[in-house]
């Protein structure tokens, strides 16, 4: 009778270890699927942010071109040569300010994209499940030896 109890304890420990290993495999598969989904979402967000940044850059470029054309037209109407002197300095200043604004916006966009990324080193917890299975099997073997 004692031998049957020992065999039942050993069989129960084996089944428990198998269940824990299966659970760990399922968790690992779910973790991979979740990581794939997160990666796809991040890629979509990156593409959207890049597209929006390109659209804003195009809008800024068009606004700068309209502003410079307007200033040149006003200066020419006033009898000032728009390609020389203070008119040229004004146009250069507008271009410099626009370039600085574009650089600042690009830095902000890059910071936002970088902040949204998850670490590739995040643990998935698979080792913990195997350690638990080993502990329960070790406990069953120890109880058989006692």
CA distances to 35, 41, 112 from 121, rounded to whole Å, are 12, 18, 20
> Helix, strand, coil % (nearest 5) of the chain?
85, 0, 15
pLDDT of residue 83: 78
pTM for the model stands at 0.50
pLDDT tens digit at each of 146 positions of the chain: 667 777 777 778 888 888 888 888 899 899 899 989 888 888 887 788 788 888 888 998 898 888 888 888 888 888 878 778 877 888 888 889 888 888 888 888 777 777 765 444 444 455 555 556 666 766 666 666 66
């Amino acid at each position: 009778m004692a031998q049957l109890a020992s065999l039942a304890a050993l069989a129960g420990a084996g089944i428990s270890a198998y269940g824990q290993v299966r659970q760990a495999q399922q968790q690992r598969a779910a973790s991979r699927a979740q990581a794939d989904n997160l990666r796809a979402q991040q890629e979509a967000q990156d593409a959207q942010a890049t597209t929006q940044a390109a659209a804003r850059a195009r809008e800024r470029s068009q606004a700068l071109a309209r502003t410079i054309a307007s200033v040149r037209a006003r200066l020419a109407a006033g009898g000032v040569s728009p390609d020389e002197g203070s008119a040229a300095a004004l146009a250069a200043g507008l271009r410099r300010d626009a370039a600085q604004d574009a650089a600042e916006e690009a830095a902000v966009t890059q910071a936002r994209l970088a902040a949204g990324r998850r670490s590739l080193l995040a643990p998935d917890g698979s080792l913990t499940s195997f350690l638990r299975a080993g502990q329960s099997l070790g406990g069953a073997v120890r109880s058989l030896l006692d």
